[in-house]
């Protein structure tokens, strides 16, 4: 079985998750990549990724030989998704302002950072910190995106999805409890929101995705990884596949202005997404020819379950002159 790929975003309860995974799988069954100089980075990762000739495939094959259950670290989603597959990827995201405040507190405690929170948030690495980690990988495609603020429910979904049993822990905390709020000056909050529009949008996207997923789980209905990627005057298109990679294609209803326009099956090849190792060999796309006008509202729905995507309608843009 392919190992899970845990994308550990700093200060999102990831340390609690990986320590829980160590107890569930065994420390020797997890391969860590926290960077060349990090003490947590596994010997195998140093050998394969931080020598003269980095070789991700060798790392993956050696991990399989060692029956590793998880590959994890402070890395971008794109780094190991081509090996493990996007359906095996797991991560947590957190409300951006609180996450940044927690990382600032961590830098003060661990690295003796002396600057102000305003100074810290302007460090280039800290700008849109979470969204930069997902560059090139849509969050809708990732096997499971949990929320730090709803850690228990997220862990329940992860365990159910992958048939594992990771217990809840709370480690590396800057606050007494996971999710407890940091006090932030209003002027700092205002500045943060100006500097991090992508992270704010990403979190809202993930929050709505989580709400949809947890409701389907409670209703004992399957979740579909799905995204609307094209909606204009002539075409509506996107991609969809079932959680767990079932071979059955997803039937997608296309709705325009709250009316069901047509139903199509997601069976078209998406070669641009091949590096994600998609289910169904990449034959997960759909497209419908339409005749729409500027301002029309477009939304899709999974026919079998009623799962809407995106969560709210999108409007067809006005054509530029």
List domains and CATH numbers for the chain: 4-218 (3.40.50.300), 224-315 (2.60.40)
Q: What is the pLDDT of residue 176?
A: 44
| Cα angle value 95/100/104 (rounded, 5°) | 150
- The sheet with strand 259-265 has its strands ordered as 259-265, 251-256, 297-302, 308-315
Question: For residue 171, what pLDDT is reported?
Answer: 64
What percent of the chain shows pLDDT beyond 70? 96
Work out the pLDDT band at 170, boundaries 50, 70, 90: low
What's the pLDDT at 51? 87
Q: What is the mean pLDDT of residues 145-168?
A: 96
Which pTM does this prediction carry? 0.92
Pairing mode, strands 4-7 and 89-93:
parallel
Note the pLDDT of residue 169.
72
Instruction: Give the largest Cα separation in the chain, rounded.
Output: 61
Report the alpha-carbon distance of residue 13 to residue 173 in Å, rounded: 8
Proportion of the chain above pLDDT 90, given as a percent: 91
Q: Above 50 in pLDDT, residue 123? A: yes
The mean of the pLDDT values for the chain is 94
173 pairs with which residues across the strands?
A: none
Distance of CA 192 to the CA centre of its chain: 22
Cα(239)–Cα(81) distance, integer angstroms: 18
Q: Contact 309/140 with Cβ under 8 angstroms?
A: yes
With CA atoms as reference, report the closest residue to 6 among 101, 112, 88, 122.
88
| Per-residue burial over 215-236, b = 16 or more CB atoms within 10 Å of its CB, e = otherwise | ebbeeeebbbbbebeebeeeeb
pLDDT class for 1, splitting at 50, 70, 90? Answer: confident
Q: List pLDDT tens digits, range 191-236.
A: 999 999 999 999 999 999 999 999 999 999 999 999 999 999 999 9
The pLDDT value given to residue 180: 67
Pairwise CA distance, residues 121 & 154, whole Å: 28
Total number of residues shown for the chain: 321
Residues 98 and 199: their CA atoms lie apart, in Å, by 12
Q: Residue 177: pLDDT band by 50, 70, 90 thresholds?
A: low
């Amino acid at each position: 079985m392919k190992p899970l790929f845990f994308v550990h975003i700093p200060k999102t309860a990831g340390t609690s998750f990986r320590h829980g995974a160590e107890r569930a799988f065994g420390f020797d069954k997890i391969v860590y990549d926290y960077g060349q100089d990090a003490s947590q980075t596994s010997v195998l990762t140093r050998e394969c990724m931080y020598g003269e000739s980095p070789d991700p495939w060798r790392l993956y094959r050696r991990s399989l030989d060692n029956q590793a259950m998880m590959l994890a670290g402070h890395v971008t989603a794109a780094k190991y998704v081509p090996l493990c597959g996007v359906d095996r990827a797991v991560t947590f995201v957190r409300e951006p302002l609180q996450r940044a405040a927690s990382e600032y507190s961590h830098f003060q405690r661990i690295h003796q950072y002396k600057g102000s929170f305003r100074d810290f948030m302007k460090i280039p690495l800290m700008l849109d910190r979470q969204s930069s980690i997902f560059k090139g990988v849509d969050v809708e495609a990732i096997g499971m995106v949990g929320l730090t603020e709803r850690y228990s429910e997220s862990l329940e979904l992860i365990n159910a999805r992958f048939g594992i049993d990771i217990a809840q822990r709370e480690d590396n905390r800057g606050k007494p409890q996971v999710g407890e709020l940091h006090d932030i000056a209003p002027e700092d909050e205002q500045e943060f929101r100006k500097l991090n529009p992508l992270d704010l949008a990403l979190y809202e996207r993930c929050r709505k995705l989580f709400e949809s997923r947890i409701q389907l789980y409670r209703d004992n209905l399957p979740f579909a990884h799905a995204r609307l990627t094209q909606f204009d005057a002539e075409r509506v298109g996107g991609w969809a596949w079932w959680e767990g990679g079932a071979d059955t294609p997803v039937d997608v209803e296309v709705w325009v202005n709250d009316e069901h326009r047509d139903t199509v099956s997601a069976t078209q090849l998406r070669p641009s997404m091949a590096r994600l190792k998609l289910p169904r060999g990449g034959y997960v796309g759909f497209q419908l020819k339409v005749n729409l006008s500027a301002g029309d509202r477009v939304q899709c729905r999974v026919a079998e379950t009623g799962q809407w995507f995106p969560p709210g309608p999108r409007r067809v843009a006005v054509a530029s002159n």
